Structure 1
Amino acid sequence: MFFGRAREIKALRADISRAGLDTLAGRKSPRARVLLIAGRPGSGRTSLAERLVRDLERGYRDGVLRARLTEPGGEPVPVERAARGLLADLGVAAPAGAGEDDVSELLRGALLERRALLLLDDAADAEQVDALLPDNPDCLVVAVARGPLTGIPDVRPCTVGGLDVKAAVELLETYAGSVRVTVDPQAAETLAELCAGQPAALVLAGGWLAARPTASVADLGKRLRAVPDDDGRPAALRPLARAFRLAYEALPAPGARALRLLSLAPLGSADPQTLSALAGCSVSAAEVLLDGFVALGFVRRAPHGQYEVPGCLAPFLAERLAAEDRPGETQLARARMLERTVRLLQSCRAVTEPEGSPARRRHAGLPRALRFPHRAAAADWLDLRQPALLACARLAVADGELDTLARRLIAALVRALAAHRGTEAAAPELYGLHGLVLDVAERRGLHRERAAALLNLADLDAGTGRTPEALARYRAALDAGRLAGDPYATGRAMESVGGAHQQLGDWQRAADWYGRALAQRLARDEREDQARLYGRLGAVHTYAGRYGEALRDWRAAAAAYRRLGDVAGHARALSEAARVQEYAGRPEDSLRTCEEAVEWARRAGDERLHAALRLRLADTLDRLGDPAAARLHRAAAERLLGSGSAGQGSSGHPSPSTYEIRGEVQKD
């Protein structure tokens, strides 16, 4: 609902066409124009911004992008997180772990050729807005803040106060009905003045009247005057505080408790499942409560069956919770919410498993309210609730008292994201979650989980080209793995340190660390890992030009794969040994080894590998002066590739497990 504000909308529209300082100076504006709507929470500033955006969006072919820059608790949203959200709306992926400057630069680059309208709600300061401001005058930014954004040039705030009396009375009529207002228009105007024309206060007053059809507007006015002012509040907040107190104290005790528990909902966003867990009631009862709160003006409906606590009411609910509930009760409610979220995430992941699997059988045994009918429904729920789920994980870790539940929640969320999107697509979210695991592990001295988190973060750093940062984390993971006595973590860390040095071109250190990792694998008789590490050592020695050592390692890798029964891996290792022999100036030996590799590839039944090795053999024959034989092998390779049945085959180089939080809390 939107009432009044014609003057403000007219002023904002006029500000769009106003000549800026750059235009007056004869220069083209280098950045987007910023329209600022300034006012306190509860003044209707966001509703005004949304109305303006709806009026203007037709002129912006690339649509409207929205970001909220302050969380309900009052904490500013990090610029990096806000920029990622805007990039996601544009369909642009930001690298996992990228810093604030990099993500902001990526956002500006993405908007450089677009004509988009940005709505930045509840900006905490000018720095937040400036970091997200497009370097494109064809874009327009509508910012909402408490006051002026000092530091951004050429911005004139449109200050939002209370509604005029006519608009305020119209707002009351939507709740109380026109009859009660018509029979006592003076009382309605007085009530509007008592609420200082603040839309949030008027909505609560209207909700009170709607719940009491026999009460008059004058009755409400008398009750509102009788509510004492809190002298500790700013004068501008007192009308809303009085309206909230009157409406809240009229609630029955169970409803009042459920309402104040909504202050624990992440991002102020809830659904019946969330309130059910917080209040300890059934999902259907929670839905009835939420609909009742909507009718009373405490909560707003959001798309897709969600509900939102208005930001202006969140502090009042938090105050009531702290005053009326014992800390232990509050902690129990939070624990119930986390446990319910964990179970929903486990169900969300389980529905991706094959029919008849243990996870699906457990899923079938869950209560109906916790089950998803099919994979698409689970994916939709995960997409819809992702911001709240990530916020829930952050809040659980920040709380510090529920670390076991926090770890279970993060593990379940990591698995659900990986199952529905794949680890590569979900990497930005997983990076933040692994960082939270690291925070908990360091706080609790959990060395095994600290090692796992560091390994996962380092893998993501390495995957986005931040190799020095990855190397530092791999070394820290090695120390943590040693403290935990975890051979998996130490072996994986040593191998990864070698890989980072290899990426940096430091062949000597890479070979040294691969050798250490190999020694551990030999001691533990881990044969698959031995084969892989022999291959890595062979590759590093080849790069360094140490062909004798490289040939020895590739032959050892081939022997290890043969003992394992990995025929394709054996063929690949022989192929690499042939390459080394060629580099070392031994073409006849290279030819014999390559022929042996081709035969093993044929036995493996991997036609793609067989074709690739035939082509390599043809190149070797060309260099040895036998073009006729080379043509025969190329023709055979073309037949293999054109047969349509070439499969992927086995790589022979299994990659280490990633995105896994190793520890006891993993168990569903």
Structure 2
Amino acid sequence: MGADPYDRVMDPAAGPPAMRYQVLGPVEVWSSAGERLALGPPMQMRLLAVLMSQPGTAWSIDQLVDELWQGRPPKTAAGNVKTYVWALRRALRTPDVPDPAILAEATGYRLVLDAQTLDSAAFDDLTQRGYHALRQDLCSDALRAFEAALALWRGEPFAGLPGRGVLLSVRARLEEQRSSLLEEVADLHLRAGRHNELIEPLRAQIDGDPLRERPWGQLMVALARAGRRADALATYRRLHRQLSDEVGVEPGPDLQQLHTRILRADRELSTAGARTPEKPTPRIVPRQLPAPPTLFTGRTRELARLTTLLLDDSGPAGTVVVTGTGGVGKTWLALRWAHDSLHHFPDGQLHVDLGGFGTATEEAAPSTVVVRSLLPALGVKPLEIPAEPAAQFALYRSLTADRRLLVLLDNARDAEQVRPLLPGSARCGVIVTSRHTLPGLVAAEGAHPVALDLPSTAEARQLLVRRLGAQRAAAQPAAVDELITRTARLPLALSIVAARAAARPTFPLQAIADDLAVSRGGLAALATDDAATDLRTVLSWSYRLLSADAARLFRQLSLHPAGEISAAAAATLAGAPPHLIRPALDELTLANLLAEQSPNRFRCHDLLRAYGEELTDAHDSAAERRSVRKRVLDHYLCATRAAARLVDPGHQPLDPMPRTAETAQPVFADHRSALAWFTVEQRVLLAAVDDAVAHGFDAHAVQFAQTLTPLLSRLSQWHDLAAVQAIAVTVARRRSVPRAEALAHRDLALAHLQLRRYEAARRHLRDALARYDTIVDRPGQASIHLQLAWVYDIEGNPREALPHAEAALALSSSSDDKRGTAAALNAIGWGHARLDEHVRAISYCERALALHAEVQNRVGEAHTWDSLGFAHQGLGAHPTAAACYRRALALYSDAQDQCGRAETLVRLGDSHRAVGDHDTSRDLWGQALAIFDRLGHPQAEELSERLATAR
């Protein structure tokens, strides 16, 4: 046997890969011992194929459900996905690879593979090596790499699996790459004079894909060189007939010219071993592209978008504008795509750095570019270049009119700099990169915008791993994660960090991460001696072009608690009405110093904010900066209180509202719109708590924590609630506010309770009761006793829970707190139901239900209907129990209380199972599991095991 193609992409010192994953044919996984692993049923294998199609990419449960069932999932789809993942993890574990390759993410899963173990990645790597050798005219090296890449193929990619969704697009990309590679190999064999050997393989290739013209031309050349001129002409007639009958077109001009040359018995075509002529007359083919970026990883979607926009069935066409902030990787993306697509541009590539953003005082003028770079590259001698710019541009358009060229115009400042440099043919592809969005070019010239955002965390990790080596990165995963966070995933910053780490192979990565932590964002640690790669210098090139208003807003944005901000909050930040601040927002967006990620919502990445903070420290007074911070905190506190009152009408804030004269407040129609706003702003509001503490706004921090409780609870964000309330406990104690401290302890206990940290919950509830010794607040004390009852109940001690529920009832009744009384009555009813005293339970719950309806506490009603269902279920009245549970589900759905809904779904499933309706029971449990899994709830694992047993 010959050498394994995998060996060509591996470090020989690293040894063979532990596992081999294969998609270039039937999907298979092989152990290091050479055994094929059993991957399970078709749907399970399809799930693995989806993960293998984009290794390192995080897939949410919803995305995986869409891929597996294509819009028609069963009700148990989410649960099925978890079951498939569990089975695949077991299948992929071997003695030498004990850790699962499929990792759980916050919302789903991702497959982590070493690139050397996946055949499609090996194919890509070998292909790139071959093209690199070809550009250096090392034909034999290129041929070896190409043939090694093709040897990895065992059939159609993902053979045997339905071709839809992501598998369809990845399969099409791989097959296109393989077809192009076969054509490159044929060209190389023709150059080497192996025309006789090529005839039959080319015929087979044409039979498989008869509408690709390049193999037809190669077959005609091979036949002509083999002395079979008549067969070559017959081949052309066959192609002509096929294209005319099936597509209604004639062969392209290159094939027509080749046909003419064969008719004329061109001597070069009849000479064995001669190079394949590309044109009937010699012509300079420019190759101006800089070298491909060696560290480039990811950007799969953006590369596919460029292919869609720049290539169609007839070849390259169109103009694309790649926009994004400084250092985000616009040039890298353009170069990577250009080098991958060279075969589509046989007439060459032109490249110009227009200098729109850089150290030069002026950007390159179009006439200068044409005279000094483009016309000479197209073969025009200096004395032949016209004197007038208009004539220069006309000559440039004439020379590009009949060519298939790729033109890369890098670093453009505006549309006027680009327009004269657009070629004179729709067959040319043009890529423009710019920090500005160039709307004029999009509107007038029909250019297609491609906005380049920060890479995903997985892509950022791939970049570091590729430079640092998989072994070093795997040994220090926490440091790698911190480097990604500190660099804000900005490719330029990641590259600087990777270069420093690579230059210091013995340094722990954590030491480099610590350097970045010295200043927020680590700008000082990202300085270099080269202005083109020094991050602070690169960012300054964009800032210095801003108007005074936009520059001031850019500085103020660094004082915002988080990297994303609404237009209303930006107006508050600036202390101006929204309509007056909009022009500055638009200017920052056009300059890609800000991204409008959705209507009236903007994002600024961390390193830009760090740069803005340096600027505001230098240009704005301390009093101005504090005023901006207070305005923003007031804005968010007022809005959060308004949302909390709609979600929980019984919510009572600790302190009066701050003055809001300078704030533009959101308006909520109902609790749904309030929760929708909170879902969007949640990360910002949590950051506001930290920001308030960090800058001496203690009162704001405590008020935020108390106001966030009903919102975080409704969305089951227990870890966030615990973090916020831990801050509130510390700050309230520092400020000596006993009631605030008691409430913080109570709400921190609630978070611990939901996270099943029962001892911690009891400790904080005892601390809360101790604070009430110094103040009179019976409703507050009652709420503590209710939570203590809840703790004991969840721990399985309903007899210890019941006295606390009764104490809560006494305290609430004595203070005429109807909401508290209703909650206590329900807690007592639940406690009796847990003790199998179901008739007494129903009596208490019915009293609670009437009070909840009186005070319009719909979530309280939902809790009580759930308790009633549990009591009737205990009596064996399953139809009545099911009706109660469904009333609770309707109320929970209206209130958007997902955790309460999931718990009731479980009990409703139990009720159906008790009467033998196992299918409905499993379906209801599956719905509950999907919710628990999405919330990261501890009950998800227990319910998943129950479902697996039931199945």
TM-score (norm 2): 0.36
**More RCO (CA 8 Å, sep 6+):** 1
TM-score (norm 1): 0.48
Which of structures 1 and 2 has the bigger CA Rg?
2
